[in-house]
């Protein structure tokens, strides 16, 4: 069945790079997403990658997709305290509006 897995917690120092990893199972995924949720807030779409791409870069964010291994990662360069949040990866199921979410990775940025 459809499943998306993430590690639950990551701690980094301010200025370092953060890498949040995600694995998924459905090979028919069309888009893969990264969402950010700050404490007490809703979901903010950070970036997404189409399943036929390997990499996408957007300012401090780099998304890498290894379709063979069904592995997705989000790299945040020069991590700031404002990046502290929960990060969700999600895959979309072909021809539906359904998103399958991972458990969320809490990113803690220490000054």
Partner 1 sequence: EAQVTQNPRYLITVTGKKLTVTCSQNMNHEYMSWYRQDPGLGLRQIYYSMNVEVTDKGDVPEGYKVSRKEKRNFPLILESPSPNQTSLYFCASNIRGRTDTQYFGPGTRLTVL
Question: Contacting partner 1 (CB under 8 A), which of 13, 71, 98, 110?
Answer: 98
Q: Which stretch binds partner 1 (CB under 8 A): 3-11, 53-61, 67-75, 76-84?
A: 3-11
107 binds partner 1 (CB under 8 A): no
Q: Cite the beta strand spans of 1-111 per DSSP E.
A: 4-6, 9-13, 18-24, 31-37, 44-50, 55-58, 61-66, 71-76, 85-92, 99-101, 105-110
> Where in 24-63 is the site for partner 1 (CB under 8 A)?
30-31, 33, 41-43, 45, 48
């Amino acid at each position: 069945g459809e499943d998306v897995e993430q590690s639950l917690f990551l701690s980094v120092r301010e200025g370092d790079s953060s890498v949040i990893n995600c694995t998924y199972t459905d090979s028919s995924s069309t888009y893969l997403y990264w969402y950010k949720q700050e404490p007490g807030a809703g979901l903010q779409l950070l970036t997404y990658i189409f399943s036929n791409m390997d990499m996408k870069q957007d300012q401090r964010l780099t998304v890498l997709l290894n379709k063979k291994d069904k592995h997705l990662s989000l790299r945040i360069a020069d991590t700031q305290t404002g990046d502290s949040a929960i990060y969700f990866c999600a895959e979309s199921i072909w021809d539906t509006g359904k998103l399958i979410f991972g458990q969320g990775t809490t990113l803690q940025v220490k000054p």
